[in-house]
Amino acid sequence: MAAKKYDVKDFRLAQNGRKRIVWAGQDMPVLRRVKERFHKEQPFRGMHFSACLHVTAETANLVQTLKVGGAHVVLCASNPLSTQDDVAASLVRHDRIPTYAIKGEDHKTYYRHLRAALDHKPVITMDDGAALVSLLHTDYSHLASNLVASMEETTTGVIRLRALERDGALKIPVIAVNDAATKHLFDNRYGTGQSTIDGVIRATDMLIAGKRVVVAGYGWCGKGVASRARGMGAKVIVTEVEPVRALEAAMDGLEVMTMREAARVGDLFITLTGDMHVIAKEHLKAMKDGAVICNSGHFDIEIDLKALKQLSTRVDKNVRNSVDAYVLPGGKRIYLIGEGRLVNLAAAEGHPASVMDMSFATQALASEWAVKNRKKLTPKVYEVPKAVEDWVAKLKLGSMGIRIDTLSAEQQKYLSSWAHGT
Ligand code: ADE
């Protein structure tokens, strides 16, 4: 039997998906400009792209942009719980973009979808967490030599790619899109900041004001969540392992303590560290009755879910949508949102379009840069060129009606001189 050319939940959802894609697109002016130019210039004419991203209305606007630029794009989900089924249906039905993504897909289906994306024999891949790159280094390594480059969207993915590079095992050129200023300074901070709190509120309807919100990890994502929670009146506690970041949190006016201390007092716990078992058995044991726990880091490893299950005498599934109650001996309840997966995508809609506009314009332009420079690229981790970041930032400012000053000739001369004015 021939393999299916797509795998989505239900085509009856497609019409709604289209509306959501159009709605998101209205708030993506920079990507729209890229799309208009790609339409004229066809930078990807006939090239095969495989994207493994969260299948959302914003991602739909990205893959449409690549397709308009001449690419044959296949899309699969980068997380089993983040797919917007209506968007996936619309991409297949209205855009003829083969999409493999079903919200809640099991492990086997998730991997089948990844394989389907690579069976497309891409020359450019896009990852949000290095899933395709991992396969390109194992079962699909025969495709590696044909690859122009792979784009990486998230911090966790970039960490893995740099580990591969350090071990001398990296087989393909990769571009650390996450590390572009126009990505992480906005998407990670303001996108994760808002959408994580959005996920918590949609799932629990809890009042944030007055709560003790424990934010594990004070990278760009943690900073974003902490500042939004504080803005809503929470007493924010930060846990960290890096002294400089911990100091930053302290001087930002937040309480800093160990997770052991925080576990006893927190009402809501949000992990954003990229590492495993940040909330471990001893912390779960110490938590108050009614504590709410969730994760907004890339993988569902930050909370020790096995320990949570072991500690519980009973699990009441779906006490609200996306919320499971774990009942411990003595009746203490711990509420887990979104099965410990990315709470902003599992329980809400991910980052708003306006911020994904910058991330995905950066993605699209980084791909174009890779294609233009394909002859020069070797297996290593590349930064996004500064010119791309500047262009995206300028356009975003323009779309917000913001003008900025420019250096005068005198000022330029001053900045480039070492002797002047000393
Ligand atoms: N990552 C976080 N939010 C996202 C969104 N809305 N679309 C795609 N990827 C995302």
- pLDDT of 232 > 70? The answer is yes
- pLDDT of 1 > 50? The answer is no
Question: What is the rounded average pLDDT of the residues 93-108?
Answer: 97
Question: What is the rounded average pLDDT of the residues 186-211?
Answer: 98
- pLDDT of 114 > 70? The answer is yes
- Who lines ligand 1 at CB under 6 A? 53-54, 56, 58-59, 191, 350-351, 356
Instruction: Decide whether 11-179+351-399 matches 192-341 in CATH topology.
Output: yes
Whole-angstrom Cα distance, residue 315 to residue 336? 10
- Structure token digits, residue 337: 């949102």
Give per-residue pLDDT as tens, 137-193.
Answer: 999 999 999 999 999 999 999 999 999 999 999 999 999 999 999 999 999 999 999
Whole-angstrom Cα distance, residue 102 to residue 202? 21
Q: Which of 351, 355, 360, 363 to mutate to test the pocket of ligand 1 (most atoms within 8 A of CB)?
A: 351
Residue 421: pLDDT band with limits 50, 70, 90:
low
As a whole number, the mean pLDDT across the chain is 97
Residue 418: pLDDT band with limits 50, 70, 90:
confident
- pLDDT of 248 > 90? The answer is yes
Whole-angstrom Cα distance, residue 362 to residue 365? 5
Question: What is the rounded average pLDDT of the residues 58-81?
Answer: 97
Q: How far is the CA of 353 from the centre of ligand 1 (A)?
A: 8
Q: How far is the CA of 54 from the centre of ligand 1 (A)?
A: 6
Return the closest-CA partner of residue 231 out of 193, 280, 180, 270: 193
Question: What is the rounded average pLDDT of the residues 312-322?
Answer: 98
Residue 2: pLDDT band with limits 50, 70, 90:
low
Question: What is the rounded average pLDDT of the residues 245-263?
Answer: 98
Question: What is the rounded average pLDDT of the residues 223-250?
Answer: 98
Prediction pTM value: 0.95
343 to 74, 132, 270, 336: CA distances (angstroms)? 26, 23, 9, 10
Give per-residue pLDDT as tens, 384-398.
Answer: 999 999 999 999 999
What pLDDT is recorded for position 256? 98
- pLDDT of 331 > 50? The answer is yes
What pLDDT is recorded for position 422? 59
Whole-angstrom Cα distance, residue 114 to residue 7? 11
- pLDDT of 112 > 50? The answer is yes
What pLDDT is recorded for position 43? 98
CATH for 11-179+351-399 is 3.40.50.1480
Counting from 1 in the atom list of ligand 1, the atom nearest the Cα of 58 is 7
Question: What is the rounded average pLDDT of the residues 93-104?
Answer: 98
What pLDDT is recorded for position 4? 76
CATH architecture of 192-341: 3-Layer(aba) Sandwich (3.40)
Counting from 1 in the atom list of ligand 1, the atom nearest the Cα of 55 is 8
What pLDDT is recorded for position 420? 76
Q: Which of 27, 341, 356, 360 to mutate to test the pocket of ligand 1 (most atoms within 8 A of CB)?
A: 356
- pLDDT of 51 > 80? The answer is yes
Question: What is the rounded average pLDDT of the residues 12-30?
Answer: 98
What pLDDT is recorded for position 13? 98
Please, are residues 272 and 297 in contact by the beta-carbon 8 Å criterion?
A: yes
Q: Where are the domains of the chain?
A: 11-179+351-399, 192-341
